[in-house]
Amino acid sequence: MNNEHTFNENELIGSLHEAVAHAKGKLTLKTTSVPRRTLKMTPAKIALIRRRLKASTPVFAAYLNVTPDTVRGWEKNRRQPSGPALRLLEIASKTPQVLIG
């Protein structure tokens, strides 16, 4: 088994900066940035994300781990995505390829 590690000076420098910030009291274990609440998404926006991926409704539903009927409901404004699905759609709107990955 190979135990060789690659050296990344940028990671080392970044870690040192974090250690200094922690020592100065500027960074604590409670320091975090929480994403803002995801706003409602329009049916047109959901359809646009799907079209950018060049995905059919069933394929897009599989990407999101929901049923095709759920996606159809979102796109026809019969239902609204919420919770994790809404967050995933927001991420997909910024970087659609993340769903295919």
Residue 65: CATH number of its domain = 1.10.260.40
Rounded Cα distance, 52 and 27, in Å? 40
Q: Does a structural domain hold residue 10?
A: no
What residues make up the domain containing 67?
43-99
Token match 């659609």: residue? 96
pTM, 2 dp: 0.66
Q: Does a structural domain hold residue 49?
A: yes
Q: Does a structural domain hold residue 54?
A: yes
pLDDT of residue 1: 56
Rounded Cα distance, 92 and 98, in Å? 6
Instruction: Provide the number of structural domains found in the chain.
Output: 1
Q: Does a structural domain hold residue 57?
A: yes
Q: Does a structural domain hold residue 63?
A: yes
Q: Does a structural domain hold residue 60?
A: yes
pLDDT tens-place values along the chain, 101 residues long: 566 667 788 888 888 888 888 888 887 766 677 778 888 999 999 999 999 999 999 999 999 999 999 999 999 999 999 999 999 999 999 998 888 87
